[in-house]
């Protein structure tokens, strides 16, 4: 057996070559690994796959008195109702656009922050920066929205500053035009420090000799970042990007719900808030189950596409 | 770092440092301002906060809000519960995630891809609230603390991160060598993998613990008894009262309650965030140390 | 490889689904016909105790943030001894109540009784026809004499709780006290006096008064910081002012009934005038610029400062320390001579406050239990507690002792605080919420109250579902656009488009449904 350069793929290849009659032997030999998996897999089956039968209510007119199985089938009526709804296109557009802008703006910022922190030579200063940027993550969304409302209200500090500079007051919270900016901006504010943790960890794992070598070659700081730091964390970036895109349609509905009002609804009405207000609060379970299913399908499609793309281009993928 | 810098002039390096420090300073200010505002507001006369008079420093300094909180049993019960949920919940999370992530990181495990697919799919489909509720109910966990711990025992996202770490950061040859020495997989996990996994464990503890501390939706759904409420739900109730509108008639006392909530809300925010903030530096030391030993490499 | 795993997974899933499906759907639809028998024999039709042998009932209820535990309230302690019915309350806090209530039904985890539960008409029909709530109509006459009497006195009660099939699934909270159903118009009379102005009677008067409040510095601090007009967050202002344009609020909706014709007036030209008027107030900063964003707390704070010209609220409780500064107004007369108090709750005000579920073994006992609270005597016990301990009779009317008229103590002794409890609110029990100043304000409104105010009607399940689907879209659109019209975010050039969209959303079909409901009621 050549164990010189064992790598995941090599091991897998070896495993494949031994497949067939030895498969059973392989499995038996690693029975204790399955033993470890027993509990988690049982948990997945029970708590994730168990309730899946509930998806059928998307195709039914769910009547709690009759139970899930006893309710009558209605085919694609619930889906039809959603597609025909006056709000369908608006919901879809808002959901997509908020996520798209988030991905473009909010995804790279933790990476940039990590790179910045990595470049700070003073240990105490970089620690200070890290510690301060983490803090907002610990604050719950209810509170964040509370702070936003006060800061951005017509007699709040931001508007006072604008007026002092000769501008006229802006009703940030009651304007569709500002909604996405505020939503994404505050998300960045809250999470950039936290999300940079993984990148900082990855950066600190890069072999210092690589930097020394680059320096010897006369590479400037920017070039070192570009040619050493960044490539060092690309696999992490790719995995996180895939996961993010997989969650593309799921935006924190709580925060949007709290920020929502009739004046910004045009920009803030998204699928998840719609599901919450019509489903859980008004008890329209079948209708919202259909919407949820539609949402999941989009997510899954995106994930499969991105994962395939990632596997082809960077050899990193989820499975 | 070496004093003599090769080829590029020292001034270039210096300028780069200055810019880096400046950007960092700006970030610190932006992040800090809203936080300072909350702190100031918590020490201020609530009426002046509502009128928008407070913008940086407290106006009409008062400790009334903190005094109110000190005498609020609900908040202290919530505190105790949240600590319990966080500690026990995180412990279970770590054990379960580890048990799943390690075997799945092994390239020689038959069926690994299928299992991974099963697990990943759960990120996209869920049966929805009703079937989940029925399940928790049939397990007899409604209105018990287990409803907040067991259904969320594994976060698939964290599982994937952990598995990626095992795959990429722990040399496979090490594990094979151990095998040849006749080491069982359990022994391998406990005495070789775990010691090498401190950084990822630190990250996981942090992720899960903060998640537990801030979670409230499951409690909103599954918990009825107020003595089981986590702190976040108490907090939410206090904050939601001041959001509530159009109270109908026969609501004596509601106004006072609303105004009281309004006056203590900033202080409640501080008090509820404090434990995590105070704990953080301690956890962080281990965390950074762990990260230095080895980290998530490609 | 993957195939095998797939099969394994699917079969596991199927098994899990079958097992769980079994838990989910079974056990729920118990037939209550059989269990009825147990209760009937023992229940006495009048007098107390209701039953000789103690009976236990589980009630699911909403507990408001101001309340203490229900078991500590004098009303339930005393009533248990009196009636021999032991009640175990399952309390769910107001925040998250709606979710928990729906989950109870959805998971068939039913209590015996839903108490102070705010069941909407759609929910009542859905859960009633699904067999989870039992019909009450046949028990009312025999076991709920007080409620029956109220139904005879106020026909709109029956109309609002009876489904087209003739079933009654829930009982509402009843408000016969007129002033508990309206928001008064409070004006700062100190400012009027100072600026030498008369109480405004018409909308034009109102406009002039508001302008004066804004410009002439009635608070005398030399700054233009007065707030001329405010109201609760959002669109309540539309409902409060629509009467001046001849727009009524029937069936709990934007509906006029003129000569047996039901009209949804949202796309009506009169509504355009109303919105234009509000838009004028808003752009000229006469109407609170924070109208669409301020919280309840901020609104209440504005009442208490004395720096507000005009606002709307049911009582003077929220500005008691400076109550003398304000006085009530009659509704304003509009440009076409309309003068109507459009805002106002119907007599059956709190819908779905009480219901009996299919697992209840003693429906008749439950009915008798609740009926007591639809009498003055029962309502007094509920609202005031024990005579001598919590209240005294002053001029023959129950009045809280001073230690129980504070906002801290009072809600702990009564479930009326926090709203929505199933009971009767009459003049007799209203000493606290209807002080002279409020009575006076109500008196000014009385001549302009509509003759009858219909509550939201009950539809059969299919129609209710239809109404729900239609209104989901329409209401959302209407609220959003109205807000924009008022705030000036949408020009009135778009009015035609607004009307066209309402039409596209089938507002006429909705109108037809309400028309049919009205016709059925009048037959």
Give the minimum alpha-carbon distance from A234 to chain B in angstroms, rounded to a whole number: 7
Ranges of chain A whose pLDDT falls below 50: 1-6
**pLDDT for C225 beyond 90:** no
- Give mean pLDDT, residues C135-145: 93
Of C401, C428, C448, the last residue of a domain is C448
Token duo for residue A39 = 């509990």
B154 domain-assigned: yes
pLDDT of residue C155: 87
Dihedral in degrees, nearest 10, Cα atoms C148, C151, C157, C162? 60
Give contacts of B 36-55 with C, CB under 8 A.
47, 50
**pLDDT for C443 beyond 80:** yes
Residue C151 CB: number of other CB atoms within 10 A? Answer: 23
Give the minimum alpha-carbon distance from A280 to chain C in angstroms, rounded to a whole number: 6
Q: Specify whether C311 is located in the same domain as C408.
A: no
Distance (Å, whole) CA C476 – CA C470: 10
Q: Specify whether C281 is located in the same domain as C400.
A: no
Half-sphere exposure of residue B6, counting CA atoms within 13 Å on the CB side? 13
Residue C116 domain boundaries: 32-179+347-448
Of C415, C448, C481, the last residue of a domain is C448
Q: Can you say how many angstroms the Cα of residue A231 is from the centroid of all Cα atoms in its chain? A: 22
Asked if C130 and C136 touch (Cβ cutoff 8 Å), the reply is: no
What is the sign, positive or negative, of the torsion defined by CA atoms of C202, C207, C212, C217?
positive
- Mean per-residue pLDDT of chain B: 79
Distance (Å, whole) CA C223 – CA C214: 10
Chain A neighbors of B27, CB-CB under 8 A: 113, 116, 129, 133
Q: Specify whether C365 is located in the same domain as C258.
A: no
A220 interfacial to chain B (CB closer than 8 Å):
yes
CATH at C204: 3.40.190.10
Asked if C348 and C157 touch (Cβ cutoff 8 Å), the reply is: yes
The predicted-structure confidence for C30-58, as pLDDT tens digits, reads as follows: 334 334 444 444 788 878 889 988 999 99
Q: Specify whether C475 is located in the same domain as C438.
A: no
Total CB pairs under 8 A between chain B and C: 145
pLDDT of residue C36: 41
Chain A neighbors of C13, CB-CB under 8 A: 45, 49, 52-53
Residue A68 to residue B130, Cβ atoms within 8 A: yes
- Mean per-residue pLDDT of chain C: 86
**pLDDT for C483 beyond 80:** yes
pLDDT of residue C371: 95
| C333 vs C405: which has the higher pLDDT | C333
Token duo for residue C454 = 């219909």
Residue B298: pLDDT band with limits 50, 70, 90: very low
Of C448, C468, C489, the last residue of a domain is C448
Count of domains for chain C: 2
Residue C16: pLDDT band with limits 50, 70, 90: very low
Chain C neighbors of A268, CB-CB under 8 A: none
Residue C4: pLDDT band with limits 50, 70, 90: very low
Strand ranges (E), A79-178: none
CA neighbor of B202 nearest in space, from A118, A133, A206, A201: A201
Determine how β-strand C391-394 pairs with β-strand C397-400. antiparallel
C354 domain-assigned: yes
Percent of chain C with pLDDT over 70: 92
pLDDT of residue A250: 65
Residue C102 to residue A283, Cβ atoms within 8 A: yes
Q: Specify whether C436 is located in the same domain as C481.
A: no
Overall size of chain A counted in residues: 319
Q: Which residues pair with C85 in a beta bridge?
A: C55
C6, C17, C94, C497: best to mutate for the A interface, most A CBs within 10 A: C17
**pLDDT for C259 beyond 90:** no
- Give mean pLDDT, residues B9-13: 65
To which CATH superfamily is domain A76-314 assigned? MetI-like (1.10.3720.10)
C312 domain-assigned: yes
pLDDT of residue C283: 94
Distance (Å, whole) CA B172 – CA C161: 72
* Per-position b or e across C324-337, b if 16+ CB within 10 A of its CB: ebbbbbbbbbbeee
Count of domains for chain B: 1
Chain B neighbors of A247, CB-CB under 8 A: 123
Residue C13: pLDDT band with limits 50, 70, 90: very low
Question: Under 8 Å CB-to-CB from C79, ≥6 apart: which residues?
Answer: C85, C369, C372, C381
CA-to-CA dists, residue A133 to B28, B39, B269, B276, angstroms: 7, 17, 18, 14
pLDDT of residue C14: 42
A262, A265, A277: best to mutate for the C interface, most C CBs within 10 A: A262
Strand ranges (E), C181-300: 184-188, 227-229, 255-258, 261-264
C16 domain-assigned: no
Nearest to B273 among A6, A126, A138 (CB): A138
Token duo for residue B191 = 């005495």
C12 domain-assigned: no
B46 domain-assigned: no
DSSP 3-state of C424: strand
Q: Which of A261-265, B249-253, B281-285 has the lowest mean pLDDT?
A: B249-253
pLDDT of residue A189: 92
C376 domain-assigned: yes
B138 domain-assigned: yes
Distance (Å, whole) CA A118 – CA A105: 21
Residue B190 domain boundaries: 64-244+251-293
Nearest to C98 among A176, A261, A281 (CB): A281
CATH at B219: 1.10.3720.10
DSSP C287: B
Distance (Å, whole) CA C186 – CA A238: 62
Chain A residue closest in CA terms to C504: A86
pLDDT of residue C137: 93
The verdict on ipTM greater than 0.85 is no
Question: Under 8 Å CB-to-CB from C358, ≥6 apart: which residues?
Answer: C29, C30, C32, C110, C131, C132, C133, C134
Give the residue extent of every domain in chain A. Answer: 8-56, 76-314
Residue B56: pLDDT band with limits 50, 70, 90: confident
pLDDT of residue B242: 57
- Give mean pLDDT, residues B12-38: 87
pLDDT of residue A69: 82
* Per-position b or e across C445-473, b if 16+ CB within 10 A of its CB: beebbeeebbbbbbbebebbbbbbbbbbb
CA neighbor of C63 nearest in space, from B218, B80, B257, A65: B257
Q: Which of B136-140, B260-264, C487-491 has the lowest mean pLDDT?
A: B260-264
pLDDT of residue C159: 86
Q: 0.80 exceeded by the pTM?
A: no
The predicted-structure confidence for C358-367, as pLDDT tens digits, reads as follows: 999 999 999 9
Q: Specify whether C300 is located in the same domain as C202.
A: yes
Distance (Å, whole) CA C66 – CA B253: 6
Distance (Å, whole) CA C114 – CA C116: 7
The predicted-structure confidence for C422-441, as pLDDT tens digits, reads as follows: 999 998 988 888 888 999 99
Token duo for residue C374 = 């639809």
C106, C285, C461, C484: best to mutate for the A interface, most A CBs within 10 A: C106
Contacting chains of B (3 CB pairs or more, <8 Å) are: A, C
C14 domain-assigned: no
Q: Which residues pair with A223 in a beta bridge?
A: none
Distance (Å, whole) CA C156 – CA C159: 5
Residue B138: pLDDT band with limits 50, 70, 90: confident
Asked if B199 and B294 touch (Cβ cutoff 8 Å), the reply is: yes
| C470 vs C12: which has the higher pLDDT | C470
């Amino acid at each position: 057996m050549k164990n010189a350069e064992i790598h995941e793929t090599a091991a897998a290849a070896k495993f494949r070559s031994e497949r067939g009659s030895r498969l059973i032997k392989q499995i038996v030999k690693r029975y204790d690994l399955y033993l470890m998996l027993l509990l988690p897999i049982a948990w997945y089956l029970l708590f994730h796959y168990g309730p899946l039968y509930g998806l059928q209510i998307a195709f039914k007119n769910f009547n709690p008195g009759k139970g899930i199985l006893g309710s009558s089938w209605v085919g694609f009526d619930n889906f039809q109702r959603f597609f025909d709804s006056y709000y369908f296109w608006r919901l879809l557009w808002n959901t997509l656009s908020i996520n798209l802008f988030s991905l473009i703006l909010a995804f790279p910022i933790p990476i940039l922050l990590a790179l910045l922190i990595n470049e700070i030579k003073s240990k105490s200063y970089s620690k200070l920066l890290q510690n301060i940027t983490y803090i907002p993550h610990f604050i719950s969304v209810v509170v964040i929205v509370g702070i936003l409302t006060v800061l951005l209200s017509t007699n709040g500090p931001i508007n006072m500053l604008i007026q002092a500079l000769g501008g006229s007051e802006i009703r940030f919270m009651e304007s569709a035009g500002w909604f996405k900016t505020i939503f994404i901006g505050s998300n960045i504010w809250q999470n950039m420090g936290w999300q940079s943790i993984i990148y900082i960890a990855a950066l600190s794992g890069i072999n210092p000799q690589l930097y020394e070598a680059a320096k010897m070659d006369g590479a400037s700081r920017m070039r070192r970042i570009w040619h050493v730091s960044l490539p060092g964390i690309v696999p992490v970036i790719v995995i996180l990007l895939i996961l993010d895109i997989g969650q593309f349609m799921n935006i924190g509905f709580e925060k949007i719900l709290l920020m929502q009002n009739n004046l910004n609804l045009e920009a803030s009405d998204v699928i998840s808030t719609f599901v919450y207000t019509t489903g859980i609060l008004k008890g329209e379970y079948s209708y919202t189950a259909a919407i949820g299913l539609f949402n999941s399908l989009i997510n899954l499609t995106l994930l499969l596409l991105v994962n395939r793309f990632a596997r082809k281009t960077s050899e990193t993928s989820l499975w | 770092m070496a004093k003599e810098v090769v080829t590029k002039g020292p001034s270039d390096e210096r300028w780069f440092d200055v810019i880096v420090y400046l950007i960092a300073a700006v970030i610190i200010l932006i992040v800090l301002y809203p936080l300072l505002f909350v702190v100031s507001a918590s020490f201020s006369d609530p009426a002046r906060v509502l009128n928008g008079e407070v913008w940086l420093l407290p106006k009409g300094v008062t400790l009334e809000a903190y005094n109110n909180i000190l005498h609020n049993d609900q908040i202290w019960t919530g505190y105790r519960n949240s600590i319990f949920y966080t500690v026990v919940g995180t412990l279970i999370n770590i054990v379960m995630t580890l048990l799943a992530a390690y075997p799945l990181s092994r390239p020689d495990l038959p069926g690994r891809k299928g299992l991974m697919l099963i697990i990943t799919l759960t990120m996209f489909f869920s049966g929805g609230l009703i079937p989940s509720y029925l399940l928790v109910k049939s397990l007899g966990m409604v209105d018990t603390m287990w409803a907040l711990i067991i259904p969320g025992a594994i976060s698939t996202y964290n599982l994937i991160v952990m598995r990626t770490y095992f795959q990429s950061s722990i040399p496979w040859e090490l594990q094979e060598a151990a095998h040849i020495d006749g080491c069982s997989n359990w022994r391998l996990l406990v005495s070789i993998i775990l010691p090498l996994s401190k950084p990822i464990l630190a990250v996981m503890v942090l992720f899960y613990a903060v998640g537990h501390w801030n979670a409230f939706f499951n409690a909103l759904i599954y918990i009825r008894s107020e003595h089981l409420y986590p702190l976040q739900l108490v907090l939410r109730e206090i904050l939601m009262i001041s959001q509530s509108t159009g109270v109908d008639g026969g609501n004596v006392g509601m106004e006072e309650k609303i105004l009281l909530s309004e006056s203590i809300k900033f202080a409640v925010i501080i008090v509820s965030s404090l434990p995590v903030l105070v704990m953080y530096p301690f956890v962080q030391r281990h965390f950074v140390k762990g990260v230095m030993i080895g980290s998530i490499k490609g | 490889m993957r195939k095998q795993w797939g099969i394994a997974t699917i079969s596991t899933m199927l098994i899990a689904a079958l097992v769980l499906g079994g838990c989910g759907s079974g056990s729920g639809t118990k037939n209550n016909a059989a269990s009825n028998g147990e209760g009937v024999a023992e229940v006495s039709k009048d007098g107390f105790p209701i039953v000789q042998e103690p009976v236990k009932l589980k009630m699911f209820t909403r507990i408001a943030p101001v309340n203490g535990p229900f078991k500590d309230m004098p009303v339930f302690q005393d009533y248990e001894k009196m009636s021999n019915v032991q009640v175990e309350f399952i309390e769910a806090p107001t925040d998250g109540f709606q979710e928990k209530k729906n989950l109870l039904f959805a998971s068939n985890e039913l209590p015996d009784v839903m108490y102070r539960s705010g069941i909407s008409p759609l929910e009542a029909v859905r859960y009633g026809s699904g067999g989870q709530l039992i019909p009450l109509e046949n028990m009312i006459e025999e076991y709920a004499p007080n409620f029956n009497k109220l139904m005879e006195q106020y026909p709109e009660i029956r109309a609002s709780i009876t489904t087209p099939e003739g079933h009654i699934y829930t009982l509402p909270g009843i408000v016969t006290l007129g002033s508990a159903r309206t928001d008064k118009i409070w004006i700062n009379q100190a400012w009027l006096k100072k600026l030498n102005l008369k109480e405004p009677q018409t909308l034009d008067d109102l406009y002039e008064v508001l302008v004066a409040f804004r410009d002439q510095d009635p608070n005398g601090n030399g700054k233009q910081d007065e707030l001329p007009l405010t109201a609760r967050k959002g669109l309540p202002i539309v409902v409060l002012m629509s009467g001046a344009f001849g727009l009524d609020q029937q069936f709990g909706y934007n509906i006029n009934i003129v000569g047996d014709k039901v009209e949804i007036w949202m796309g009506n030209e009169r509504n355009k005038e109303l919105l234009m008027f509000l838009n004028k107030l808003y752009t000229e900063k006469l109407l609170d610029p924070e109208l669409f964003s301020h919280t309840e707390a901020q609104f209440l704070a504005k009442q208490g400062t004395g720096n507000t010209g005009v606002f709307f609220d049911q009582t003077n409780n929220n500005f008691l320390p400076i109550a003398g500064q304000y006085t009530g107004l009659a509704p304003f007369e509009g440009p076409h001579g309309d003068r109507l108090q459009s805002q106002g709750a119907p007599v059956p005000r709190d819908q779905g406050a009480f219901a009996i579920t299919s697992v209840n073994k003693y429906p008749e006992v439950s009915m008798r239990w609740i009926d007591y609270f639809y009498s003055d005597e029962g309502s007094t016990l509920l609202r005031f507690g024990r005579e001598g301990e919590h209240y005294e009779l002053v001029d023959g009317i129950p009045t809280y002792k001073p230690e129980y008229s504070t906002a801290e103590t009072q809600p702990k002794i009564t479930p009326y605080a926090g709203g929505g409890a199933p009971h009767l609110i009459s003049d007799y029990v209203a000493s606290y919420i209807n002080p002279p100043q409020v009575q006076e304000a109500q008196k000014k409104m009385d001549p302009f109250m509509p003759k009858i105010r219909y509550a939201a009607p009950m539809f059969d399940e299919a129609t209710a579902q239809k109404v729900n689907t239609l209104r989901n879209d329409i209401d959302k659109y209407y609220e959003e656009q109205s807000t924009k019209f008022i705030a000036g975010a949408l020009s009135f050039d778009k009015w035609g488009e607004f009307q066209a969209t309402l039409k596209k959303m089938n507002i006429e079909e909705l109108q037809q449904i309400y028309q049919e409901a009205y016709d059925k009621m009048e037959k």
